[in-house]
Every structure is written in C-alpha cells, then in structure tokens.
Amino acid sequence: MLVMKVILISILFVLAMSAIACAYPHQLFLDLPIAESIGDRGLTGYRLAFSSSIGPSLQVGRAITDRLDLWITTSSSDLFSLEVRALLVDRLGPLNLSLDLSQDGFTLLSALFLGPVEIDWGRIFGVSGKRWATITTSPNQWYSFLLGVEHETRYSLLAALRLFPRQGVWGLSICYRGGEWGASFGGAL
C-alpha cells in the first residue's frame, strides 16, 4: 500500500511539474465525462483521482484532433478501459455536444457555456443508463464550484470545489458524491 502511495505521489509530482499552462477542465468524476475536448491536437490530458468506493484511478487522454480525443482509464475496480470522445457540436452559440464511445456503450454529453456559469448534462446509453446534470460557476480564476444531481437507481447529490492554485496550469478538486468524498487532480501536458 505504501509503495502504491509513493508511486501515485511521484506520478502526481511529475505531472504537476511538466504541465503546461493549459489545464484541461478535467472531469471531476471518473464515470461522468464532460462535453469538452482536450484542445489542440497533440495535447495530453490527465486526471488522477481517489474515492473511497473506486479507490485510486488514472485517466490519460490524447487529442487526436482538436475535436477527437482518445482516453485510457485504469483503476483498482477496472484495470483498463478505452474511450473515444468526439465533439460533434463545438460552440454553436453557447452549446457543445459530444459523443463518447466505450465498451460499456455510448454517452451523449451536452454543455451550455453562459459566461461564468456552465451547465452540463449527459446520459449513458448502455449497461448503466446513468444520467446527470451539473451547474458550475467560477467567480474568479482561482476556484470554481459545482453542484449537480445524478440518477442511476436513485438520485444522489454531486458537489465539488475546484482550485486552480497555479493559474490554470493544473487543477485540484475536492468532490462529494452521494455521501462519499473524493479528490482529483488534473491538467494537460
């Protein structure tokens, strides 16, 4: 367990040090993606997270084009999963629409960008049938709040505080999900 912790902390340190000033607005919850792409072709997005139910997880994504990403996830509950995210509608006015394809099915994601407020919602069509909606507000460049609700078999509350201590180089989040706490760290390389 100690070895695992040391490895995770080392990875985190290397990622934080080599991150460029382009924090991918990383998804806060492992299985709730967002309708945004990593950005310019060649960028690598990453996300390290820990929650009491899933344990540690690592997600790494690569921007194939500015509208197509490939994501690989590994966690203690699911050793390997692959995901392709295509941004179908990119800022048609304030709207983004994207489609995620994975071995579990496909996910339709939407986002409305209303200045300092962002509204996201999505639904997984496949094994889980999960659906969720969140609202995020960013009063300044240092932090943002998220509040939302998800439904699979019952409704549960989502809440998070995301901090950007190094002005967008990376982000650190503390998350609450249906009675369970977690933390995540993410950015782009």
Partner 1 sequence: MIRNDGRRDGLNVADELPRYESAAASVASELVSDVVRFAPIVLFLMILGVSMVTSASSLTILYTNDIHDRLAPLASLGELIEEERASGGPVLLFDSGDTWQDFRVPLYAVWGADEMVAWMNRVGYDAMAIGNHELYYGAQRLAKLSSTTSFPLLCANMIPLAENPAPFVPYTMISTGGMRVLVVGLITAEYLSYPDYPWLKYIDAAQAIQRVLKETEGKADFVIVLGHLPVAQAVQIARVVPDIDVFLTGHSHEITPDPVREGKTLILQAGAFGRYLGRLKLEIDPQSGEILSARNSLLETKRIPVALNRGLLKLLTVVALIATSLLLLTR
Which of 140, 153, 154, 179 contacts partner 1 by CB under 8 A?
140
Count of positions on this chain that bind partner 1 (CB under 8 A): 37
Q: Which CB atom, from 75 or from 144, has the smaller least distance to partner 1?
A: 144
* 149 vs 105: CA distance, rounded Å: 21
| Nearest distance from C-beta of residue 83 to partner 1, angstroms | 19
**CA angle, 103 then 15 then 133, to 5°:** 45
User: For the chain, first and last CA: distance in Å?
Assistant: 28
SS3 9: helix
| Nearest distance from C-beta of residue 173 to partner 1, angstroms | 12
Under the criterion CB under 8 A, does residue 23 sit at the interface with partner 1? yes
Q: Which CB atom, from 83 or from 120, has the smaller least distance to partner 1?
A: 120
By CB under 8 A, the residues from 67 to 96 that bind partner 1 are 89-95
Sign of the C-alpha dihedral computed for residues 14, 15, 16 and 21 taken in this order: positive
Under the criterion CB under 8 A, does residue 41 sit at the interface with partner 1? no
* 66 vs 90: CA distance, rounded Å: 10
* 21 vs 41: CA distance, rounded Å: 15
| Nearest distance from C-beta of residue 60 to partner 1, angstroms | 19
Under the criterion CB under 8 A, does residue 25 sit at the interface with partner 1? yes
Number of Cβ within a 10 Å radius of residue 54: 17
* 1 vs 187: CA distance, rounded Å: 26
By CB under 8 A, the residues from 95 to 124 that bind partner 1 are 95, 97, 108, 110, 112-116, 118, 121-123
Chain contacts with partner 1 (rule: CB under 8 A): 20-23, 25, 66, 89-95, 97, 108, 110, 112-116, 118, 121-123, 131, 133, 136, 138, 140-141, 144, 164, 167-169, 171
